[in-house]
Structure 1
Amino acid sequence: MYEGALGDLVDELGRLPGIGPKSAQRIAFHILGTDKADVDRLAEALRVVKERVRFCEICGNVATEEKCRICRDARRTDEMICVVEEPKDVIAIERTGEFRGRYHVLGGAINPLDGVGPEDLRIRELMTRLQAGVTKELVIATDPNTEGEATATYLALMITPMGLTVSRLASGLPVGGDLEYADEVTLGRAFEGRRTVQQ
């Protein structure tokens, strides 16, 4: 549609996840109308993140050093590891302030249709961590979709024989939602994960 540098920019932006052709075009025109200093800051931020940000050698979370800040935090317990699919999931759980253990980022979920099997994830590294014998509970916090459920089932089958407690995050109704808008699977899981009301 567009030629030259603008066309190249629209094409590159369109390759980003969640950015369709219209969004790519809007962003490109925004950049075109922005001050050069703002564009330079954006370009510098992209360059720096590519040069300095890496994945933690222990858990796979994003880090600026060999270990991420969570793996360096001595106040965290090693007795509980929460397994997530992506680093963004770590951020979501950290925002709750409820979890004080360690994390393990798989780098995705089992998805045979996309050619992603267990060997493509950081499961081998997880097993190595668990064999150290310090961890007592593994919390599986994969996404509540087909791929996340397949990954959770696979992990539970592998880890349960090790004698660890394996738990799965509860899933169900969102706070502020209406029952009439909940799908059958969500409502069914809400029933399975129900708890006794404290008197």
Structure 2
Amino acid sequence: MGGPELEQLIGLFSRLPGLGPRSARRIVLKLLRDKEGGLARLADAMQAAAAAVRSCTVCGNLDSSDPCAICAEPLREARICVVEGVADLWALERAHVYRGRYHILGSTLSALAGRGPEDLAIAPLLARLEAAPVEEIILALPATVEGAATAHYLTERLKRFGIPLSRLAQGVPIGGALEVLDEGTLATALRARGAAN
């Protein structure tokens, strides 16, 4: 349609989450038609990010500094929220309700996918708990079979530290109608119900 360079660019964009070939074509056209050099600016920004961004050696977050800005912030609470990936950390930060520190596991346990404890960043978490006092550990893992298995495994491994351990509440989402929720979500919500205020 427009040469191998354009097809390669469209192919790369279409591999991004939420984008298919049609959306990728629209994005490429928009960038090419941008009078301010959108494609060149995007390429420069991507090159700069590829050179500067790395994983934080403390928590696993992505940042251009090591330790990351969150780990380096002295006013953070002495709590650690354990998450599966960087996207989960970013989502919690956007909510502006948690002011503690994080630890990224990198994945969850999955016998089917062949991921065991050695494939997750559990050893660095244990080292962090031995190195500095922590008031609470929050397991913010997915509400999946793999997330539940990972939470159970971590609960067993972390017992020896005597640190209070909690999990995120699960259940009915805000704006969710009961009639459209699955049975598992309803059962979890009913078991985890709280006092009405």
Q: TM-score, normalised by structure 2?
A: 0.90
Structure 2: give runs of 5+ residues left out of the alignment: none
Q: CA deviation at 1:2?
A: 6.8
SS of residue matched to 2:37: helix
Q: d(CA) in 2 for partners of 1:146 and 1:32?
A: 44
Q: d(CA) in 2 for partners of 1:18 and 1:118?
A: 30
Q: Percent identity?
A: 42
Q: d(CA) in 2 for partners of 1:76 and 1:106?
A: 20
Residues 113 and 23 (structure 1), Cα distance of their counterparts in 2 relative to 1, 3 Å cut: farther
SS of residue matched to 1:94: helix
SS of residue matched to 1:113: coil
2:196 paired with 1:166: no
Per-residue CA distance 1:141-178 (angstroms, 9 max, x = gap): 01112222221111112112332221110011111111
Q: Is the 8 A contact 2:31 2:37 kept in 1?
A: no
Q: Is the 8 A contact 2:32 2:38 kept in 1?
A: no
Q: Which amino acid aligns with 1:114?
A: A
Q: d(CA) in 2 for partners of 1:2 and 1:119?
A: 46
CA RMSD of aligned residues (A): 2.0
Q: CA deviation at 1:20?
A: 2.7
Structure 1: give runs of 5+ residues left out of the alignment: none
* Equivalent residue number for residue 9 of structure 2: 9
Q: CA deviation at 1:36?
A: 6.3
* Equivalent residue number for residue 19 of structure 2: 19
SS of residue matched to 2:112: helix
* Equivalent residue number for residue 188 of structure 2: 189
Q: Is the 8 A contact 2:170 2:188 kept in 1?
A: yes
Q: d(CA) in 1 for partners of 2:138 and 2:116?
A: 21
Q: TM-score, normalised by structure 1?
A: 0.89
Per-residue CA distance 1:123-153 (angstroms, 9 max, x = gap): 1111111122511321000111222222111
Q: d(CA) in 2 for partners of 1:113 and 1:11?
A: 30
Q: Which amino acid aligns with 2:10?
A: V
2:94 paired with 1:102: no
Q: Is the 8 A contact 2:109 2:147 kept in 1?
A: yes
